[in-house]
Amino acid sequence: MNQTVAAPVTIQGLLDQLQATRDAEWAPEQLRAHADLRRSLEANADRARFVKPGDVVPPFVLAEVGGGTVILDDLLAEGPVTLVFHPDWMVRTESSAVLAAVRPLVGQ
């Protein structure tokens, strides 16, 4: 009997798929601007200040784009939390695609 085992879904794999979609759909000047911005962000990132897996994050309340708030303590009441932040300039559909793709990884 031949069984096919599916490769595990990873966040990096999902981000790679997102980039493949950009490559197929965006104009060359958009791709260049995006790549330049990513290189700049990488070069200037203060990684010592990044939250690392296992770190305890202080309580916070964030405003939602559509109104309302996100309260960390409310999220934690349902179990562990994975935080994914996007800059405010990020295209909303792109951000939504990443969030939809990540949901199965965290069991939501």
pLDDT tens column, 81-97: 877 776 665 555 555 66
Domain contains 3: no
Containing structural domain, residue 60: 11-106
Assigned domain for 2 exists? no
pLDDT at 73: 94
Count of domains for the chain: 1
How high is the mean pLDDT of the chain? 80
Indicate whether 35 belongs to any domain. Answer: yes
Q: Which residue type does 13 have? A: G
Is 45 a member of any domain? yes
- How does pLDDT run across 44-53, given as a tens digit for each residue? 999 999 888 8
pTM of the model: 0.51
Domain membership of residue 15 (yes or no) is yes
* Domain assignment present for 49: yes
What is the total residue count of the chain? Answer: 108
How does residue 40 score in pLDDT terms, banded at 50, 70 and 90? Answer: very high
How far is it between the farthest Cα atoms of the chain?
Answer: 53
The residue that leads in pLDDT, 4 or 92, is: 4
In a domain, 21, yes or no: yes
